[in-house]
Structure formats: structure tokens, C-alpha cells
Amino acid sequence: MSAIYKSPICAMVHESMEDVYRNGGIDKKTMRDFDDLCLAPVQDMSAAAIRQLRLREHLSQPVFAATLMFPKR
């Protein structure tokens, strides 16, 4: 799943800072600050809307969860 940015400039800055973070140049807290500044807010979805999305994409519940990177219980 790709990120949705607030603007093209935010996309460039965030992607650059992701590289810096992966290479140890900034800590997790600072990366979260960049997330807050650059990424568009996440939309709330009802359970029915999530189910509809999953069915539209022809995904089982475990595959859908893995796609979203939810850990197994």
C-alpha cells in the first residue's frame, strides 16, 4: 500500500527522510513527526466498508490482514 501525501513536496521530503531513517540518521520519534507533517490523515472506515473493500479485491480475511501488515493473534 502506498502512502498518500499532502502535496508533491511533502512526498519528496518524506521519501528522503525515510532513507535517512533507514540509514540511522534520525530516530523513530523524528520519523513519526515527519509522518504527521507529510502524510494525509487516515480515513475512518466502518466494518461494512472494510468488508466491501476486501470482497471487491477478492481477498480472504488472512490475506487482507497480511496486506495491511496486521500481526496474527
Domain coordinates of the chain in residue numbers?
Answer: 8-38, 44-73
pLDDT in tens, the chain (73 residues): 578 999 999 999 999 999 999 999 999 999 999 999 999 988 899 999 999 999 999 999 999 988 887 666 6
**pLDDT at residue 43, as a whole number:** 85
DSSP string, 35-62: HHHHBPPPPP--HHHHHHHHHHTT--HH
CA distance 55 to 40: 25
CA distance 12 to 5: 9
**pLDDT at residue 72, as a whole number:** 64
pTM of the shown model: 0.57
What does the angle CA 31 – CA 34 – CA 35 come to, to the nearest 5 degrees?
90
The dihedral through the CA atoms of 27, 41, 39, 6 has a sign that is: negative
